[in-house]
Amino acid sequence: GRVAVIVPAAGKGERLGPGAPKALRELGGFPLLVHAVRTLVTARSVDLVVVAAPPSAEGVAEVQRLLADLPGDTRVVAGGDTRQESVSLALATLPEDCDVVLVHDAARALTPVDVVEAVVAAVRDGAGAVIPVLPVADTVKAVDGDLVTATVDRSTLRAVQTPQGFTRDVLTKAHAAADPTLPATDDAGLVEALGLPVRTVPGHAEAFKITTPFDLVLAEAVLRRRR
Ligand code: CTP
Ligand code: MG
């Protein structure tokens, strides 16, 4: 079967500050979404990319216009009010013959193609759910207000990235069981809630999520070094 990638891109980007939806903000002259999708259509293992666009008529039209300039099989659906809903809406539109589904944040615009390939390979190798992870560099503490209650054992923690990869069956079951009123921040969380295993593969520093204005500065530096 084929490999589809769902790209949730419907968020507002409130933490980035006022302006266009985050996926449409520019980095080095191109919207974040274009950077992300360009890498995905370059990946040898990826057959189809479905973007969940900002749900307004203008949002959908703008994403259609941007994708028309890219090679590969790309499609657009209107996203939802939460990331989880955006993924669910895109998942419902996938062609029958897609049996592996990745979910990749538009906001992780500079993710190297090798991470995409490693996630697909792990699903093909038999994992129902796969996430790229990195060790946590900082010491992490639990707090109650401004008082520390515990130091968490950092060696057992991982920071989680995308793309996350799934058999279509596992992702469909996970979203069918999800509670839309308590949305999850990642798709693997929904799989864990079903008690199903989630496998990790090494992530990459450049797959970081562009969330704050500082992250855009960092992304510009990464891009300059690549060019
Ligand atoms: N996303 C989405 N639909 C939503 C909310 C988020 O498709 N209703 C997408 C975003 O476009 C982004 C990814 O999910 O690519 C990760 O979300 P996040 O980094 O939180 O982006 P935003 O929600 O846009 O940012 P913020 O939370 O700062 O508003
Ligand atoms: Mg958000």
Share of the chain above pLDDT 90, in %: 98
Ligand 2 centroid, distance to 13 Cα (angstroms): 7
Give the pLDDT of residue 64.
Answer: 98
50 lines ligand 1 (CB under 6 A): no
List Cβ neighbours of 211 (8 Å cut-off, separation of 6 or more): 15, 16, 107
pLDDT of residue 127: 98
Give one word for 182, left, alpha or beta, with left for phi > 0 and alpha for psi -120 to 50: beta
Give the model's pLDDT for residue 164. Answer: 99
pLDDT for 65: 98
Q: Is 54 in the pocket of ligand 1 (CB under 6 A)?
A: no
Tell how far the Cα of 225 is from the centroid of ligand 2, in angstroms. Answer: 28
Task: State how far the Cα of 4 lies from the Cα of 48, in Å rounded to an integer.
Answer: 5
Q: Report the C-alpha gap between 111 and 122 in whole angstroms.
A: 17
What per-residue confidence (pLDDT) applies to 227?
A: 87
Q: Is the CB of 43 under 6 A from ligand 1?
A: no
pLDDT bracket for residue 82 (50, 70, 90): very high
Ligand 1 contact, 210 CB (< 6 A): no
Q: Which atom of ligand 1 is nearest to the CA of 209?
A: 19
Phi, psi dihedrals of residue 211, rounded to the nearest 5°: -120, -45
Question: What SS3 state is found at 126?
Answer: coil
For the chain, percent of residues with pLDDT exceeding 70: 100
pLDDT level of residue 67 (50, 70, 90 thresholds): very high
Alpha helices in 81-160 (DSSP H): 83-91, 113-124
List the domain boundaries for the chain. 2-226
Q: Which CATH superfamily is domain 2-226 in?
A: Spore Coat Polysaccharide Biosynthesis Protein SpsA; Chain A (3.90.550.10)
pLDDT tens string 135-191: 999 999 999 999 999 999 999 999 999 999 999 999 999 999 999 899 999 999 999
CB atoms within 10 A of CB 69: 10
